[in-house]
């Protein structure tokens, strides 16, 4: 199952963003719950964010030195077979469907 890791609201700190200082794991690395993933820094504290799930670090979404707002994604963890494709947008079509040129009233 795919897990998206987000910038958490650091306990008691009213920061609205964090800076990615350095990644402690690389894409393709296997992680377990509690493994340190990334070092983050806010205006007041620096801390290591731990993995919330077991799996493979599939995709890093925020590079080192990036400022990432609280609640925004940092990376995806999952099984190597998990799809990173996001949900389809409302109104999108499945491939192979045809659009009629006629209007209905």
Task: Determine, yes or no, domain membership for 9.
Answer: yes
Its domain, for residue 64, covers 3-78
In a domain, 38, yes or no: yes
Angle at CA of residue 74, ends 37 and 35, nearest 5°: 15
Tell me the pLDDT of the chain (105 aa) as tens digits.
Answer: 899 999 998 766 678 999 999 999 999 999 999 999 999 999 888 999 999 999 999 999 999 999 999 999 999 999 988 877 654 333 333 334 333 344 444
Is 15 inside a domain boundary? yes
Residue 62 lies in a domain: yes
**Dist CA 17 CA 7 (whole Å):** 8
Whose CA is closest to 57, among 20, 27, 79, 23? 27
Q: Are 67 and 19 in contact (CB under 8 A)?
A: yes
Domains in the chain, number = 1
Domain membership of residue 91 (yes or no) is no
CATH assignment at residue 57:
2.40.50.100
**Token pair of 91 as six digits:** 């109104």
Secondary-structure percent of the chain, ordered helix, strand, coil, rounded to 5: 0, 35, 65
Task: Please state the pTM of the whole predicted model.
Answer: 0.76
Distance between CA atoms of residues 81 and 61, nearest Å? 18
Q: Quick check: is 60 in a domain? A: yes
With respect to residue 97, please indicate whether it lies within any of the assigned structural domains.
no
Domain assignment of residue 46, yes or no: yes
List the beta bridge partners of residue 17. Answer: 69
């Amino acid at each position: 199952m795919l897990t998206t890791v987000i910038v958490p609201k650091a306990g008691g700190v009213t920061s609205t963003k964090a800076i990615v200082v350095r990644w402690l794991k690389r894409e393709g690395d296997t992680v377990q719950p509690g493994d340190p993933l990334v070092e983050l820094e806010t205006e007041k504290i620096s801390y290591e964010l731990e993995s919330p799930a077991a799996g493979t670090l599939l995709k890093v979404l925020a590079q080192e030195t990036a400022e990432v707002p609280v609640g925004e994604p940092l990376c995806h963890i999952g099984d190597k077979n998990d799809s990173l494709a996001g949900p389809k947008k409302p109104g999108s079509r499945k491939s192979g469907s045809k659009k009629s040129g006629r209007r209905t009233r």
